[in-house]
Chain A
Amino acid sequence: MSETPDAPKSGFRFRDLGKMFGGAQSSGRQVGILGALVVIIILFEGLTGGLTLDPVNLINLVNQNAYVLILAIGMVMVIIAGHIDLSVGSIAAFVGIVVATAMVSWHFPPPLAFLLGLLMGVVIGAWQGWWVAYVGVPAFIVTLAGMLIFRGANQFFGNSNTVTTPDSFNIIGGGNIPDFGPQFGFSNGTLLLGVLAIIAIVWQEIRQRRTQGLMGAEKAPVWVSVFKVVVLALVAGGATYLFATGRIGTSYPVSGIILGVLVLIYSFVTRNTTFGRHIYAVGGNWHAAELSGVNIKRINFLVMMNMSVLASIAGMVGVARAGASGPGDGTGWELDAIAAVFIGGAAVAGGIGTIVGSIVGGLVIAVLNNGLQLLGVSNDRVQIIKGLVLLFAVGIDVYSKRQGRPSIIGLWSSRQRRNSGDDAPTSGAAPLDRPSIEPDGNSAEASSRPPSTTPN
């Protein structure tokens, strides 16, 4: 890639790649993590002698991780709003056992049982959201309590027994798209999905260019768009090919489709709706959000509730994959989801993070896990490596921010920006630490204000 710092208005801009993810200020980080994912995949593909990108393994990878990634969707919204949710694993387990019992003992048809599970997610979420938003108990405490409560509820309700779920329900966790049409060695369902994905990629790019035109913003040169579309289409096409050429009767898994649909919906919600915008506002500076008329309590309530609903979906997908619900389900899921979110570029203090980033972060862990297992690395060492990856991923980010210098990837973009002639006194160099010009600013008026009207 040839960079021409003196010609910022034309040519390939690394920053534009970041815009693919929609995040304004975290995009550099996300390009970085996406690069890390690609490197890890290539690394393990080599180390395992081609086992990583084997169709059977890929299908497994998706099935094994879909529920954690579903949790990551909700978790990133919770973390953007400045909270945390430790209860999702327990909620998933509790919903799982109730849904399994409903089908086996009460003879609920699977769709009805699924709706029951969603309803439980809503009720549990309303309970937790009420404590967080309206009582003002920190989410850490509320969900720590929830972690204990719903773990206990799972074991109390199921007598610590395991309940096997019917095959018709298990489709959502381990199922494949039923095959149809003429047979020529590929899964036709997967091919159809792949074609739809490529169409969506092209359409999205055209739409984006049209939007940029309407905004009067400078457009990236056409060749950049073409290049981007071709690369993305090749990735999608390659993935389609891999998933479509698995064992006969296999295809892109149903759990992956559920995940994909949720990612699309929630990306839209966080990027294009007032609700999504308010989540970022509350997490970024809730004082300012409150003084802008945002109903903070309502946002906190909805974010916590939404998390529990997604936890119930994840729980049901997890049960369906295992074919049974047991007392140990969902243990540690909350931590996997939280790790995915932070590797994916979210800020601990809130206000920063994206759905797509979190999914990529989750995939990094998933591929790492999977690759190490394929290499025969024992579970103890896998955990050590995962822990170190989390620590270093976030550590590098924190370090580069504190030094006031952008990350290695961010360097590309800031060099271009420096030429664009704004009157900012400090370009990217720790602007928040600039001393206020009038040191009397900490007035008695300011200090007599209460620290908060809602406790968190």
Chain B
Amino acid sequence: MVPAENESPTILEMKSITKEFPGVKALENVSIRVAAGEIHAICGENGAGKSTLMKVLSGVYPYGTYTGEIVYLGETVRFRDIRASEAAGIAIIHQELALIPQLSITENIFLGNEPRKRGAIDWVEAHRRAIDLLARVGLTDDPDTQIKNIGVGKQQLVEIAKALNKNVKLLILDEPTAALNEADSQHLLDLILGLRGRGIAAIMISHKLNEIEQIADSITIIRDGHTVETLNVKRDGVDEDRIIRGMVGRVLEHRFPERNSHIGEVFFEVKNWNVQHPLTAERMVVKNSSFIVRRGEVVGFAGLMGAGRTELAMSIFGRSYGNFISGELYKDGKQIQARNVGEAIDNGIAYVSEDRKALGLNLLDDIKDSVVAAKLSKISRAQIINHVEEHNVADEYRKSLRIKTPTVDEGVNKLSGGNQQKVVLAKWLFTDPDLLILDEPTRGIDVGAKTEIYGIIRDIAAQGKGVILISSELPELLGVSDRIITIFEGAITNNVPASEADPETLLKSMTSTKKKVNDK
């Protein structure tokens, strides 16, 4: 059943795919070969290029926007859009489900593909086929149920049923179990194995290495937009450690600033922090988490996507995420209240969000307006803004953070990503924070700007402030932090000085619940 490499026919081969975005090469010469009837996993760190590769394959990035060749079922294909790849039997199931919550299961399965009789939708036929498709994915729910009334796990299965209806030959699953609990995940994995038995090949992207080890036949590892290696699970005897080594096995190529840490007293403390998901009450996104931050210390937070790092940070920052359940904050030994963002700012907490365009900046503003936006009171008397002071403050940050712009009157949407990030940093430095939380501060910016941001982070720490650095890039965490805390499924799983940490052990703590906390 399990095909060995080079022996079974190839269903898909992507050759030397290169995809560029302005200023950055997301994929360079990536090649991947999927045998018929196999489950092929693609592994790599966040931002390695996995999703981009799948978007190239499924036609989200149409032919012509990339270079390289895609051979599918023995023919070179040039997909113009998703419809073209679907017509060829390639279905992609995204981590964010593409179902419409207000429509029924049947309506969703046949959306855009409705069976017709004399021009009108044949609901009887649709209903009959829906029951059949649901049975194939192991669902017994009434096909008239609205999507919003079934759980995420079942929604995932409906997505697969939808793909089966389109005679799928190659199924692409992007983090299919990211939002699922243990039982639902297992059910889904079994289903994928079952589909393989019926000759449907699958490409699976997942951060959960144990799942990959469990069901994949072969694994392609991508790092920084390059193919690193392709492993045959059976032949090469692959286990989690082997995959991790492939994912992180690189020399630290970013230049990190010299670390002259002067770590002082513990000044900030989070105790027994619990937060509920804002929509699904039974899901805890932060579970009983406690940690400390010392003055002059950069604390790195490592975890996979969806592990709860952002949720933890935002809930500390004025409960701006989720439903706060319980927990205490202490600053300099005294308990503080941060029930809204205003109180958090007044208590010297600042949060630089991971999505600077959606959450960090008003892109209609100019630089100077953005810099002062979180603390207008500092440049105004009796609610009246002093424009001269505003301008001068922004100009000082322009110089000290080296924001590349002719004047601070320029609109922030005219700046490059790295310079926008500096504006956001300036905005929060202007609030005089004692604790600065940085959520993916280098996401989507080029290497040069990254190095500058690292320097700024160390400078902030050198001023005796505490920094929490959330990052998906382990080299970055190892290079900048003084101490690293790992989070898995909302709970803290490890807490080690950066000098004693190595990527392999960190990745282990990020992917399993084995608790190993030493709080000092």
Contact = CB atoms under 8 A, between A and B. Distances in A.
Interface in B34-72: 46-47, 49-52, 55
A417 B506 CA distance: 48
A2 interface: no
Contact of A437 (B24, B307, B341, B344): B24
Contact of B384 (A273, A280, A281): A273
Interface residues of A, number: 56
B372 to A, nearest CB: 9
B351 interface: yes
Interface string A265-281: 00000001111011011
Contacts of A281: 362, 365, 373
B174 to A, nearest CB: 10
Contact of B392 (A215, A285, A443): A215
Contacts of A25: 364, 366, 411
Nearest to B373: A292
B391 A217 contact: yes
Given A214-B388, A426-B22, A293 B374 contact: yes
A438 B47 contact: yes
B363 interface: yes
A180 B335 CA distance: 69
Most chain A CB within a 10 A radius of its CB, from B96, B373, B445 = B373
A222 interface: no
B376 interface: yes
Given A420-B406, A423-B404, A437 B417 contact: yes
A67 to B, nearest CB: 29
Interface residues of B, number: 82
A440 B51 contact: yes
Interface in A6-57: 24-25
Contact of B355 (A289, A435, A439, A446): A446
Contacts of A450: 278-279
A274 B354 contact: no
Given A214-B388, A437-B26, A275 B46 contact: no
A290 B318 CA distance: 10
B252 interface: no
Contact of A291 (B46, B357, B359, B388): B359
B305 A443 contact: yes
B342 A293 contact: yes
A408 B403 CA distance: 30
Contacts of B388: 211, 214-215
Contacts of B277: 448
Interface in B94-116: 95-96
Interface in B176-215: 178-179
B377 to A, nearest CB: 7
Most chain B CB within a 10 A radius of its CB, from A217, A290, A445, A449 = A445
A51 B239 CA distance: 89
A215 B368 CA distance: 12
B366 to A, nearest CB: 5
Interface in B339-372: 340-342, 344-345, 351, 353-355, 357-366, 369
A373 interface: no
A136 to B, nearest CB: 15
B415 A216 contact: no
Most chain B CB within a 10 A radius of its CB, from A214, A287, A290, A438 = A438
Contact of B444 (A214, A438, A448): A438
Nearest to B443: A438
B362 A288 contact: yes
A432 B341 contact: no
Contacts of B320: 290-291
Contact of A424 (B358, B360, B416): B416
A422 to B, nearest CB: 5
Contact of A280 (B309, B362, B407, B427): B362
B291 interface: no
B482 interface: no
B109 to A, nearest CB: 22
Contact of B22 (A285, A289, A425): A425
B336 interface: no
B444 A441 contact: yes
Nearest to B310: A445
A237 interface: no
Nearest to B45: A440
A285 B55 CA distance: 29
A428 B414 CA distance: 7
B411 A24 contact: yes
B281 to A, nearest CB: 13
A290 to B, nearest CB: 6
Contacts of B46: 438, 440, 443
Interface in A400-442: 420-428, 431-432, 434-442
Contact of B95 (A274, A293, A439, A444): A444
A274 B22 contact: no
Interface of A: 24-25, 211, 214-217, 272-275, 277-278, 280-281, 284-285, 287-293, 295, 351-352, 420-428, 431-432, 434-450, 453
11 contacts: A215-B388, A273-B385, A277-B373, A291-B317, A292-B427, A293-B340, A423-B404, A439-B51, A442-B96, A447-B95, A448-B311
Interface of B: 21-24, 26, 46-47, 49-52, 55, 95-96, 175, 178-179, 277-279, 285, 305-307, 309-311, 317-318, 320-321, 340-342, 344-345, 351, 353-355, 357-366, 369, 373-374, 376-377, 380, 383-385, 387-388, 391-392, 395, 404-407, 409-411, 413-417, 419, 427, 443-446
